Structure 1
Amino acid sequence: MIDLRSDTVTQPTAEMRKAMAEAVVGDDVYGDDPTVNELERLGAELVGKEGAVFVPSGTFGNQLALFTWCARGTEVILGNECHIIQHEAGAASVIAGVQTRPVPAPQGALPVETVRQYIRKRDLHAPASSLVCLENAHSLGRVVSLADMDAIKVLAGGAGLPVHLDGARIFNAALALGVAAREIAARADSVMFCLSKGLCAPVGSLLAGPRDFVREARYKRKIMGGGMRQVGILAAAGLIALRDMTDRLAEDHHRAKKLAQALAAIPGVSINPGETEINLVFFSFPPAVDREEAKRITNFFAERNILINSPDEGVFRFATHHGIGDKELALVLETCKAAFGGCGR
């Protein structure tokens, strides 16, 4: 089965499975799991931070950052299409007790002047701003420039606000920008990044930042139920993900760009191949706005052992990853031509 739904569907490599089986473990709540400690050390080093804490998921890491940085009843400024707003089940209001203030963010970049206008001090009617959140790579598949990030960091710093970066795919963004991940992370005070998006680890993310922040985050991780005991079994796969799997993301980018170019040649498909910057390919097929047509297309792929998500208002997202090699891509391209070109009707 070829799975284009997400880069979270990757399977652990044989080396990861062996490392997990043989992992030296302790009790992470006591801080004596050596494999977790090594993962946190390496993760912090890669993003240039003083420390890191291992968490179960990207959503957990983002929400832990908000819970750690923000006082209850304050306000977080972030992009209107970012993951924290769109895909984290309203957790900011439940866990951190904060209000989110979404900003229109074309291509994922927060407009500086708009953010400047959105920053508030507490008064009788308004909550105080407590945090600005960025996302890079953006969940819509775009990469935000370092210059855009710099502008927000300067603005936020001048207002006394920390910046948190949702860097779930920070290594994809780093490859696309041609810089090290720490160069992106330097534009934020804290950063979350995933080990299970494209890097083949079965589960887990890291939240990194200043030493005092990480100490407080570790305490609040416990409040959130994130004390995971002998979790070195999972951290062992995360270590391999960080050491061996980040550079190979370039293969996923290459195949995504090839897929985007092929889709652009199909009449009726709307896509700008230049906007495919990482491993996520977004394209529009207007007939798929119709529910029955959308179902026909997803079934057409499924019948050929290819899993895809249903479109959102006619917009599809295909993700390339470790499980999509040249052979699998060729079958995907052939199926796309048949499904969208009309031959599958």
Structure 2
Amino acid sequence: MQPIIDMRSDTVTRPTPEMREAMARAVVGDDVAGDDPTVNNLEQRAAEMFAKEAALFVPSGTMGNLLAILSQTRPGDEILTHDESHIYYYEGGGYAAVAGCSVRFIPDDDAPKRGLLTPESLGRVLRGSDLHYPRSTLLTIENTHNRGGGVVWDEPLRQRLCEFAHEQGLRVHTDGARIWNASIASGVSLRDLAAGSDTVSACLSKGLGCPVGSVLVGDKETIAIARHKRKMLGGGMRQAGVIAAAALHAFEHHHIDRLTEDHRRAGELATTIAKFDLFDFDPTSVETNLIYARLSEDALAERGDAFEWQDLLDEVGVRCYAESRTTLRFVTHLDLSDELIAMVPERLAALG
């Protein structure tokens, strides 16, 4: 039986045997009471890695982002973000339903890459303090930017944007679900990538291969508010050291460094499949572990849309996501070897 090559997301990874063993041996306590030593260790490590005062372990990246919003805004406030940010696109409208905030989009037409923003574009959408307007309080950015194709922020640009945002009285949150990938791809340290952001969320269950969890880092006051809001949302966990141990294992056994392999495999696969008549995209646009492969006009005419191609690829054992009617997304991750990646073009070729 041919193996299934699951490239839908890096969230499909499974804990390694060594990670499972570390989880089984974890020393635990009641984290809601602050008594779980493994969680406390993880939060301390995360704060140090990002050079922030404090950190909070949370069940998911979506909750981490929502807590960042809840702890830095008030109901009726306005969040400024990209129109395809994960916070807007994929998090169930929590910014509105739970935090009571509205969203104002910042265009990226003057940015060097899709998903990035400039101080100038931010300045054009700021509306001042007229009583008719909602309070603009929080800017959110994403690094790497998922729907931008996994692109990494240009550091001088990001720093200028954060400085300008603070000058305008805004707080800045970085959705760093794949900030580990951004660090490896750019060679910029996590602490430098976090500099200028008041809060940063970082996912543990994507590139690092943990089964669950994210961390939110920031100043002590903001994280204290977030800790209270986490309890309100039902995110307080008891003997959570069992899952926190997975993250500590990932840190200690170089799961961050190995992301280089994911990026290499994504680049090589993109170069190969871009030669197929099925696709029409630039493989050099792949910077990290996300491949956004636009379908050719002929492919769309043959099958209708990317959702039909997704189903067809699934039939030959290659699982991916249709990100739009025209584009398929393939993601490399911990569970995919060179041997499995090499099978993808073979199976595409078999489609004829």
Query: Could you say which TM-score interval applies, normalised by the shorter chain?
Result: over 0.9
Do residues 308 (structure 1) and 315 (structure 2) align? no
Do residues 86 (structure 1) and 84 (structure 2) align? no
State the match for 1:335 in structure 2: 347
How far did 1:33 drift? 0.3
Letter paired with 2:10: D
Q: Verify the 8 A CA contact 1:77 1:103 in the aligned structure 2.
A: yes
State the match for 2:334 in structure 1: 322
Question: 110, 133, 143: which one pairs with 2:140?
Answer: 133
Q: Which whole-Å CA distance do the structure 2 matches of 1:311 and 1:192 have between them?
A: 23
Letter paired with 1:193: A
Does the C-alpha gap of structure 1 residues 300 and 246 become closer, same or farther in structure 2, counting only changes over 3 Å? same
How far did 1:291 drift? 5.9
Do residues 33 (structure 1) and 36 (structure 2) align? yes
Question: 260, 269, 274: which one pairs with 1:259?
Answer: 269
Q: CA-to-partner distance for each residue in 1:287-307, whole Å, 9 max, x for gaps?
A: 347765646533443333222
Q: CA-to-partner distance for each residue in 1:1-39, whole Å, 9 max, x for gaps?
A: 220100000000111111111111100110010000011
Q: Verify the 8 A CA contact 2:310 2:328 in the aligned structure 1.
A: no
Q: Verify the 8 A CA contact 2:303 2:309 in the aligned structure 1.
A: no
Question: 108, 111, 115: which one pairs with 2:118?
Answer: 111
State the match for 1:189 in structure 2: 198
The 5-angstrom pairing of residues 56-75 of structure 1 reads: 56-75=59-78
Q: Which runs of 5+ in 1 are unaligned?
A: none
Q: Verify the 8 A CA contact 1:108 1:143 in the aligned structure 2.
A: no
| Secondary structure, counterpart of 2:114 in structure 1 | helix
Does the C-alpha gap of structure 1 residues 130 and 289 become closer, same or farther in structure 2, counting only changes over 3 Å? farther
Do residues 200 (structure 1) and 209 (structure 2) align? yes
Question: 244, 248, 255: which one pairs with 1:239?
Answer: 248
Letter paired with 2:59: P
Q: Verify the 8 A CA contact 1:253 1:277 in the aligned structure 2.
A: yes
How far did 1:270 drift? 1.1
State the match for 2:167 in structure 1: 158
How far did 1:63 drift? 0.6
Does the C-alpha gap of structure 1 residues 227 and 183 become closer, same or farther in structure 2, counting only changes over 3 Å? same
Q: Which whole-Å CA distance do the structure 1 matches of 2:231 and 2:271 have between them?
A: 47
State the match for 1:11 in structure 2: 14
Q: Verify the 8 A CA contact 1:193 1:207 in the aligned structure 2.
A: yes
Question: 46, 50, 72: which one pairs with 1:47?
Answer: 50
Q: Verify the 8 A CA contact 1:11 1:200 in the aligned structure 2.
A: yes
State the match for 1:144 in structure 2: 153
Letter paired with 1:247: D
Letter paired with 2:264: H
State the match for 1:277 in structure 2: 287
Q: CA-to-partner distance for each residue in 1:133-164, whole Å, 9 max, x for gaps?
A: 11110012111111111111111111121110
Does the C-alpha gap of structure 1 residues 216 and 160 become closer, same or farther in structure 2, counting only changes over 3 Å? same
Q: Name the one with the larger helix percent.
A: 1
Q: Verify the 8 A CA contact 2:28 2:36 in the aligned structure 1.
A: yes
How far did 1:329 drift? 0.6
Identity in percent: 44
Q: Which whole-Å CA distance do the structure 2 matches of 1:170 and 1:299 have between them?
A: 31
| Secondary structure, counterpart of 2:344 in structure 1 | helix
Q: Which runs of 5+ in 2 are unaligned?
A: none
Q: Which whole-Å CA distance do the structure 2 matches of 1:122 and 1:95 have between them?
A: 24
Letter paired with 2:241: G
